[in-house]
């Protein structure tokens, strides 16, 4: 099975980049399942129902979220009728929506998509290790899921790596999001889990993590509050990974970075 994961969609440039590049990527790379992190899709803060549908129409099979999951108030309502929208599994009990989704593909194979929040330099949430354990126990690899993709939405690289090591051999893919910068450490762990610390973002890289550079730079220089951060408005790029798994084991056989669009050197797998 081929799994294509694209990192955080940031604002309109990110959405337009997904719409521009994903159809061709699907045709060229032939992924069986596409998962996109959409937590910054609405102007950099959260997601709306219209944007959720927009990303599905562009070719996503599931959309994950993160610490901005409910920045748009309407998400509290529509997430209950959005079965392929996955918010962090380690939010408090009673939070609307689901922390994992079992996506059934056209050929009958099933992909479990899990989203968890890190706790280092983030808001206080439940334990991401225990939350992931719970979701995997409910839907184990090879027994109920043909592949498992774990979106590690966290600030600290060490925390992402520790989560991936802990679940090595029990998930097909453990990929980091949230910091919006693609890392160069894509690899296979000894137990067969494909990993990259951060998938990067889908957005305008001529920016500060997808936002117009002026306000975040001013805050760092002057150290006083100012206006709201606004997403950048230039041409966007898509960034993520392609993973191929063994259908017999559900574990990864190879991983490669995927990057295409403005301001980034194009990187596409040759397999």
pTM above 0.85, yes or no: yes
Distance separating alpha carbons of residues 99 and 112, to the nearest angstrom: 10
Domain ranges of the chain: 2-261
Split at pLDDT 50, 70, 90, the class of 207 is: very high
Residue of 68, 178, 180, 186 with catalytic role: 68
Q: What are phi and psi of 153, to 5 degrees?
A: -90, 95
Q: Are 186 and 241 in contact (CB under 8 A)?
A: yes
pLDDT above 90 covers a percentage of the chain that reads 99
Mean pLDDT score, 80-94: 97
Kindly report, residue by residue over 223-258, the tens digit of the pLDDT.
998 888 999 999 999 999 999 999 999 999 999 999
Q: Are 116 and 153 in contact (CB under 8 A)?
A: yes
Burial 42-51 (b: 16+ CB within 10 A, else e): bbbbbbbbeb
Mean pLDDT score, 47-74: 97
Fold topology of 2-261: Purple Acid Phosphatase; chain A, domain 2 (3.60.21)
**Catalytic site residue 68?**
yes
Check pLDDT > 90 for residue 8.
yes
């Amino acid at each position: 099975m081929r799994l294509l994961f694209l990192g955080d969609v940031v604002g309109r440039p990110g959405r337009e980049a997904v719409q521009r590049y994903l159809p061709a990527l699907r045709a060229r790379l032939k992924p069986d399942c596409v998962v996109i992190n959409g937590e910054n899709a609405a102007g950099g803060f959260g997601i709306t129902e219209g944007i959720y549908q927009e990303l599905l129409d562009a070719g996503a099979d599931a959309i994950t979220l993160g610490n901005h999951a409910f920045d748009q108030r309407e998400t509290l309502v529509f997430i209950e009728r959005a079965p392929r929208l996955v918010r962090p599994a380690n939010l408090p009990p009673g939070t609307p929506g689901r922390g994992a989704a079992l996506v059934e593909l056209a050929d009958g194979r099933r992909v479990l998509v899990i989203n968890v929040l890190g706790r280092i330099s983030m808001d206080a949430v439940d334990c991401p290790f225990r939350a992931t354990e719970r979701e995997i126990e409910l839907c184990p690899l090879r027994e109920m899921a043909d592949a498992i993709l774990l979106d590690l939405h966290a600030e600290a690289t060490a925390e992402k790596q520790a989560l991936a090591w802990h679940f090595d051999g029990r998930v097909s893919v453990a990929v980091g999001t949230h910091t919006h910068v693609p890392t160069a450490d894509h690899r296979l762990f000894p137990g067969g889990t494909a990993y990259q610390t951060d998938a990067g973002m889908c957005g305008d890289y001529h920016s500060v993590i997808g936002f117009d550079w002026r306000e975040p730079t001013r805050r760092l220089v002057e150290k006083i509050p100012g206006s709201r951060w606004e997403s950048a408005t230039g041409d966007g790029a898509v960034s993520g990974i392609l993973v191929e798994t063994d259908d017999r084991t559900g574990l990864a056989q190879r991983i490669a970075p995927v990057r295409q669009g403005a301001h980034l050197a194009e990187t596409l797998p040759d397999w």
